[in-house]
DNA sequence: GAATCGCATAAGTGTATGCTTATCTGTTAT
DNA sequence: ATAACAGATAAGCATACACTTATGCGATTC
């Protein structure tokens, strides 16, 4: 189940940090490591998990591999969230902000 | 970190199923177990995890405990998702549906 | 063409996690 | 009161997971 891959991928704080960093702009794996105190294999493994969850996509560029956010994964979370829209009216004010942001 | 609790809670398919069931209407733990092939202690433990993630809240009713969805947890996921709104324009069509649903 | 670089993969290890069985607490019913 | 019931908690266990070190593999650089 793809939904499972996504939530499992995001359950790790290091992976969320990596994802967040990539959301600020795509870069290669070495650049991602800067200031993150994480070994090269660990980074590679995390990126693999994020990739198979469709949260990140890669593109070979010579001997570098460029990574960037894959919106597909985010869209699936949004879909999951939408299933529970019945519970939103109670917090409609907080949500209005989200809606405006998204609808820009 | 609360955000961590939420994603960790949702990383388990059984807990997502429990949450989904509760989203259809609050009920007590025994009722939740019906048709779910899960032991009583396992259900109790899952509910505890969902509870500490603010995805679910409980209310004692005599010797039963009524459980229901807690919108707070959902709101936090929405907030997390909103951070990546920069990636939404690429899928704005799919998102429009979500927006309409939420803004009802 | 040999060394280096960017990254992936393999294998091993400690810890976290989800389950089980057993037991305990608190509430209702007899 | 005591038995039955709803649910929580404890302890143990098997598996999953995130990390480590070591090595492999292409691509570049010298």
For B42-97, write each residue's pLDDT tens digit: 999 999 999 999 999 999 999 999 999 999 999 899 889 989 988 875 555 555 55
CATH number at B42 reads 1.10.10.10
Is residue A96 within 8 Å of residue B99, measured between CB atoms? no
Answer whether B93 touches A (CB < 8 Å): no
Write the CB contacts of B63 (distance below 8 Å, at least 6 apart in sequence): none
Nearest CA-CA distance, residue B11 and chain A, Å: 5
Show pLDDT as tens, one digit a residue, over chain A (104 residues).
789 999 999 999 999 999 999 999 999 999 999 999 999 999 999 999 999 999 999 999 999 999 999 999 998 998 899 899 888 755 555 555 555 555 44
Residue A48: domain span: 2-103
Please give the tally of structural domains in chain B: 1
Burial of B24 (0-12, 13-18, 19+ CB in 10 A): exposed
Answer whether B20 touches A (CB < 8 Å): yes
Whether CB of B47 is under 7 Å from strand D: the answer is yes
Whole-number Å distance between alpha carbons of A22 and A38: 15
Classify the phi-psi angles of A67: left when phi > 0, otherwise alpha if psi is within -120 to 50, otherwise beta: beta
* Residues on chain B touching A103 (C-beta within 8 angstroms): 99
């Amino acid at each position: 189940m793809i939904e499972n891959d996504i939530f499992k991928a995001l359950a790790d704080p290091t992976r969320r940090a990596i994802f967040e960093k990539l959301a600020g702009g795509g870069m290669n794996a070495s650049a991602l490591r800067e200031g993150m105190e994480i070994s090269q294999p660990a980074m590679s493994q995390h990126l693999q998990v994020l990739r198979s969850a469709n949260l990140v996509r890669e593109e070979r560029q010579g001997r570098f591999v460029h990574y960037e956010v894959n919106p597909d994964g985010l869209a699936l979370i949004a879909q999951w969230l939408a299933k529970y829209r019945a519970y939103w009216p109670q917090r409609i004010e907080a949500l209005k902000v989200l809606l405006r942001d998204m609808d820009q």
